[in-house]
Each structure stands twice: as C-alpha cells, then as structure tokens.
Amino acid sequence: MPSDTRSFAKKRLLVMLLGGLAGVVVALAGIYGIGTLVRKSDVPEACRPAAQLAQTLRPLARGEVAALAPAKSPIPLSAIAFRDGDGKERTLADWKGRTVLLNLWATWCAPCKKEMPALDELQKKLGGADFEVVAVNIDTRNPEKAKTWLTDTGIASLAYYADNSAKIFQELKEKGRAFGMPTTILIDRNGCEVATLAGPAEWASGDAITFIQAALGKPSN
C-alpha cells in the first residue's frame, strides 16, 4: 500500500475513533447526568440542595402549575428586602429554615388579583412552621389601597407585605427572575430559588398542593 494511502487510512481511523469516543461521552452524560453535574459546578454551594430539589420536582410541574420552571442554576435570594404590615424592614433571610412561596402582586394587575384568593387558600391549607406564602404588594401609589382591597376581597390567611418602591421587582428582573406580573418564586429553607413562574396559576389546585408538599418533603394527601 502506498505511503499516502496508508496515511489517509490512519487519519480516517483516528477520526472514527474520536467520533466514537464523543458518542460514548454524550451517552454517558445522558445516563449519568454528567452534563447536569457540569452545570451545577456554577451553583453556589448553599444552593446545591435547591438544584437537586428542583430536579426532583420537575415531573410535578404539570396541570395547573405546568408553567412552573424548576431552576437549573438556583441563585440565593435571602437578601431580597421588603416591609411587613407594621412597616418593619424584612428580608427573606428572616425565613431561613422555612420554605417560601414569594409572590409579587399589585392592585393594577388583574391576573394578580385573580390568583390572590388561591394563594390565600394555599396559605390556609399548608401555611405553618415549615411554609409560608409571602405575597409582596408593589403598588407605588396609595399603599392603603392594597390593604383595603385585601380586606374587601376576604383575604384573611396571608400576612401583608409590601415594597412601595417596587425595587424588589427590579432586583429580580436584573437577576433574570421577573418578566412580568405576577411573578412567583419557590424558595427553599436556605433562601435559594427552586422554581419560578411568570404569570398566574391556580395555587389552590391539587397540582399546586402536590408540588408544594413535595418541596416540603411531605407525601401528598
């Protein structure tokens, strides 16, 4: 065999071997989650449990909460600040050790108001030492309007929280976690994002209850 032919054959064999090796790596990544592990290397250590929880919850994002997007690279949100009904400044760090469903709403947002009774019912059903729906109003004018609307609507289980500067929305938008109203984020016990939903959902539905109970490590009823 001429030397040129032998050289071409060797190069062709090398290309085939490299191609086969790449295929094996891709296959292993699919089977063992190598690709996921690489992505998780960018996740802060404190948020790695949130990344694992998000993967566990992914199959449960269905039906009424199908739009919930489990986080691929969770970020810490403990520093997010707002005020409670007494005007005291609070941060999500105050809820460390508890799972939080953070919801941003406003009286000028029709979908926000429509889902508020369901959020109230979710808090009534699951709220307690392990979980709270933290609904933060971001009206920038006439703060009393939101309080009046909640009372008139019969919202009784949700505590009142507000950020009348709407800074909380801007901060979450800059982090790529707020695209419109309402915005809802499930946050784990370490203050890390688990899942995000842009838009309203039926939070009192069986699908939502199952999702939240799974996030709390509790079996669904």
Give 50-108 pLDDT, tens digit per residue.
999 999 999 999 999 999 999 999 999 999 999 999 999 999 999 999 999 999 999 99
Q: What is the pLDDT of residue 42?
A: 76
The answer to whether residue 10 is domain-embedded is yes
Domain range for 149 is 45-215
Query: Are residue 28 and residue 79 in the same domain, yes or no?
Result: no
Q: What is the pLDDT of residue 65?
A: 97
The answer to whether residue 97 is domain-embedded is yes
Query: Are residue 106 and residue 19 in the same domain, yes or no?
Result: no
Say yes or no to pLDDT of 19 above 70.
no
Element (H, E) at 24: helix 3-32
Q: What is the pLDDT of residue 113?
A: 97
CATH number of residue 180's parent domain: 3.40.30.10
Query: Are residue 96 and residue 140 in the same domain, yes or no?
Result: yes
Give the number of other Cβ atoms within 10 Å of residue 33's Cβ: 13
Say yes or no to pLDDT of 38 above 50.
no
- Maximum separation of any 2 CA atoms in the chain, in Å: 92
Give 133-159 pLDDT, tens digit per residue.
999 999 999 989 999 999 999 999 999
What's the mean pLDDT in 5-26?
Answer: 44
Query: Are residue 19 and residue 89 in the same domain, yes or no?
Result: no
CA 97 distance to own-chain centroid: 17
The answer to whether residue 190 is domain-embedded is yes
Helix axes 110-126, 206-215, angle to 10 degrees: 60
Query: Are residue 102 and residue 185 in the same domain, yes or no?
Result: yes
Mean pLDDT of the chain: 86
What's the mean pLDDT in 45-52?
Answer: 96
Query: Are residue 9 and residue 85 in the same domain, yes or no?
Result: no
Q: For 206, list phi and psi in degrees, rounded to 5.
A: -60, -35
The answer to whether residue 40 is domain-embedded is no
Q: What is the pLDDT of residue 220?
A: 67
Query: Are residue 138 and residue 182 in the same domain, yes or no?
Result: yes
Query: Are residue 22 and residue 85 in the same domain, yes or no?
Result: no
Query: Are residue 144 and residue 171 in the same domain, yes or no?
Result: yes
With bands split at pLDDT 50, 70 and 90, how would you rate the model's confidence at 166? very high
Task: Compute the distance between CA of residue 156 and CA of residue 147 in angstroms, rounded to an integer.
Answer: 11
Q: How many independent structural domains does the chain possess?
A: 2
Q: What is the pLDDT of residue 16?
A: 44
Give the number of other Cβ atoms within 10 Å of residue 133's Cβ: 23
Q: For 171, list phi and psi in degrees, rounded to 5.
A: -65, -45
Closest to 103 (Cα-Cα) out of 144, 138, 152, 143 = 138
Say yes or no to pLDDT of 35 above 90.
no
Say yes or no to pLDDT of 11 above 90.
no
